[in-house]
Amino acid sequence: MSCSDITYHRLMGRWAPGTRERLQQVALELFRRDGYDATTVADIAGAAEVTERTFYRYFTDKREVLFDGQDQLGAAFVDGVAGAPTGATPMEIAAAGLDHAGAFFTAERRAWSRGRQAVIESDPALRERELLKLAALADRLADALRDRGITDPQARLCADAALSVFRTTFARWLADGEGRSFGDLQRETLSTLQSLSAPNQT
């Protein structure tokens, strides 16, 4: 397969810094150009000028190229929740988790995230995987809230609400022409959630 439009500098060595990111970038370009199903690990490794074996040092399979980073995202939620001030309300504690996790989504990351989302939307199995990963993230957040002394059903409801805010923010942040930061959009989305009991305009 020709990869003339994807040119990269030759690696210094197998563990060169940036290999993971380059594999992700190359994979995303191939997924978008040729389709997710049609792209193989061999194609990705070839385009990134590494061996398949090197690919498998970073990712268990092709799908994980798109879902890598979920562990760090979960850890960011948990750290934010753990660091929220004593005496905060359950929703304020969850909001601290959201703020902390939101820092993940920098302006530099936006183009990658948009491309990734387009690939996920193109494939029902990837969409299902995304939903399940978000559910796992909500479970992790609920555990972190329980560690802060919040009992059920509050912890469960609060974690679900926070994940809904996160997911909604993410979709807004990826929208064409949207230029506001993830953090700003997320704070606005949270306050929209809290206004749902206010009178409807219609």
- Residues contributing to the site for its own copies (CB under 8 A): 87-93, 128, 131-132, 135, 148-150, 152-154, 156-158, 160-161, 163-165, 167-168, 171-172, 189, 192-194, 196-202
Q: In whole angstroms, how close is the CB of 120 to its own copies at the nearest point?
A: 14
For residues 13 and 124, which CB has a smaller minimum distance to its own copies in the complex?
124
Q: Which is nearer to its own copies, 14 or 127 (CB)?
A: 127
Nearer to its own copies, 37 or 128 (CB): 128
User: Smallest distance, Å, CB 85 to its own copies?
Assistant: 11
Residues 6+ apart with CB under 8 A from 166: 98, 101, 137, 186
Closest distance of CB 181 from its own copies, Å: 16
Q: Which is nearer to its own copies, 13 or 153 (CB)?
A: 153
For 49: left if phi > 0, alpha if psi spans -120 to 50, otherwise beta; the answer is left
Shortest separation between residue 117's beta carbon and its own copies, angstroms: 15
CB of 195 to its own copies, least distance (A): 8
Nearer to its own copies, 30 or 138 (CB): 138
